[in-house]
Homo-oligomer: A and B are copies of this chain.
Amino acid sequence: MKKIVVIGGSAAGAKAAAKARRLDYQAEITVIQKDPDLSMAACGYPYYIGGVFNDRNMLLATPAGVVRDAQFFSKVKNIKALTETEAVGIDRAGRTVRVRDLKTAKEESLDYDRLIIATGARARPLAIPGTDLDGVCNLLSMADADYLRKMRDGKKVKQAVVIGGGLIGVETCEALVRSGIAVTLLEMTPHILPFLDQQLAMLVENHMRSRKVQVLIDCKVDAILGEKGKVTGIRLADASLLSCDLVVVAVGVIPNSQLAQAAGIALGETGGVMVNAFMQTSDPDIYAAGDCVEVENLITGRKVLAPMGDLANLQGRVAGENAVSGNAVTFKGVVQTGICKVFDFAAGLTGLSEKAAHRAGIGGFETIISAGADKPGFMGANMLVSKILVEKKSLRILGYQCVGSGDVSRQLATAAMAVQGKITLDDLCCADLPYAPPFSPAIDPFIVSAHIMQNKLKGRIRTISAAEVLAMTKTDNPPFLLDGRGPDEYEQLRLGIGEKYIPLGALRAKLSELPQDKEQAIICFCKISMRGYEAALILEANGWKNVRVLEGGIAAWPYPRAK
């Protein structure tokens, strides 16, 4: 009878144990869990804190509503789950794990034939004073979720600061605003959601500001301040002060790989446990899965940390199977897909951002930012802004980002599969996606971005980014800016950066109103730059030599507008 010990009982560990059980009825399977709870839906914490639902047990329950506690694991899965128990050492030679009962401090050793390490990740420490004050927490554990939910229910917190504008930081902001708390978000880098490129992230920042979150970027925290052990505020590096009665630190996670390292198991450069495609560590009897491991990025070939709940489950399944069946199945790697809800927006990425491509030393690609509706107007369309990254030589789609109030989820799921399937731009231009008006426009926005990219690569459209346009308007020789929309649209919404508006339909008759110097830089745009593109073609056909189209038009403009 095989003995399998799993260290960790959240996503990867619980899944590995369950999978092992399904493949080996006889095995003795033990899960060691430091926390009191098991199988927590950690990605759901922000929605519990924000009051999207109020029954804490829903975070722990099966779809049928049964709480997955130790008794459930025993009765339903025939798995022994030791909660509030910590694995303190692995003796690889003796094939035992030393565990300590945190309630009694008693220790014992558990034999194993196969060990699965699923120790997860912990909060990256923030090396500033004040992190130990009352009212300062992370949002990683169920205890954190319980604490923040208590803050919500207590209704005493008025002003919170969230440090870190990543996925969890942004989700926390929404949860706190939903709880009636005024929120300031502090992000150290030039924009929130650092996995996105700047322009799309700025659109999310704008949306958060519209929902009353104060978003501060390029913002370093010097200290968390307190009185009588309780947090009272934040001091920034520029010496300015923010008063608050709650601080959530969400500056990322680092893999819990110390236990593995102490046992002589190899770690990778990222600090995560090194595993092969079988999720097997440097010790063939020991597997690892979830946030504690590093995995291969399938596009760059580099090892990365990808601490995501879905991947933890998929890796746990592979580790669990291989631990009982020998190395039978593989987890080859990730393309690094992520999504988050931000109030009425969603935002996400699959594959490489432009920034990530540069960081990985990948060149020879082209990008385009495009905007468009997620449905026909008559079905109540919502806007999407996307950025696609294509390798010029192979025409392979390397990455896709999408933000907006529209159906970002479908866009990203489609793109994730396109990236993983090594779909080329030409095939994407003619992709056969599910179309009906309740679900998408006749040409899906992902395909539209491919069409624009095809035009760009063929030299038919010369585009310019919002940042470049803004910079040009501030020079002594600003470009001529042409807004091709109609008068009603112009009345409702406009950039106000010196543009002239000439509706596209009137343009051929009004060419005399344009700069007669055919070398003059002209930037064309409209709401999404479709009419801007057509305007540019008209101007080029009439001899203007230096015409460009603003990528994504007004919809993708991240800077303040006049209207």
Contacts and interface: CB of A to CB of B under 8 A. Distances in A.
Contact of A541 (B25, B171, B434): B25
Interface in A472-489: 485-486, 488-489
Nearest to A509: B75
Given A64-B486, A339-B434, A426 B23 contact: no
15 contacts: A11-B442, A22-B537, A44-B376, A47-B379, A64-B527, A65-B377, A75-B506, A75-B508, A76-B534, A309-B435, A310-B432, A413-B433, A416-B433, A417-B418, A420-B431
Interface string A32-67: 000000000101100110001101001101011110
Interface stretch (A186-194, A198-206, A268-276, A325-333): A325-333
Interface of A: 11, 22-23, 25-26, 41, 43-44, 47-48, 52-53, 55, 58-59, 61, 63-66, 72, 75-78, 167, 171, 306, 308-311, 313-314, 317-318, 329-332, 334-341, 346, 348, 350, 372-373, 376-379, 381, 407, 409-410, 412-418, 420-423, 426-427, 429-440, 442-444, 447, 451, 454, 460, 485-486, 488-489, 504-506, 508, 526-528, 531, 533-534, 537-538, 540-541
Given A25-B538, A313-B443, A378 B59 contact: yes
A534 B22 contact: yes
A255 to B, nearest CB: 18
A44 B224 CA distance: 56
Contacts of A433: 310, 337, 413, 416-417
B417 A314 contact: no
Copies in the complex: 2
Q: Which 6 A-B pairs have the closest CB atoms?
A: A421-B421, A25-B541, A310-B435, A339-B434, A417-B417, A75-B505
Nearest to A314: B430
Contacts of A329: 426, 429, 454
A436 B76 contact: no
B378 A47 contact: yes
B58 A377 contact: yes
B434 A413 contact: yes
Contacts of A431: 314, 416-417, 420
A422 to B, nearest CB: 7
- Best-buried of A171, A329, A505 by chain B (most CB within 10 Å): A505
Given A447-B314, A486-B66, A506-B75, A331 B409 contact: no
Contact of A432 (B44, B334, B340): B334
A72 to B, nearest CB: 7
Contacts of A531: 64, 76
B341 A439 contact: yes
A63 to B, nearest CB: 6
A336 B432 contact: yes
Nearest to A424: B421
B414 A318 contact: no
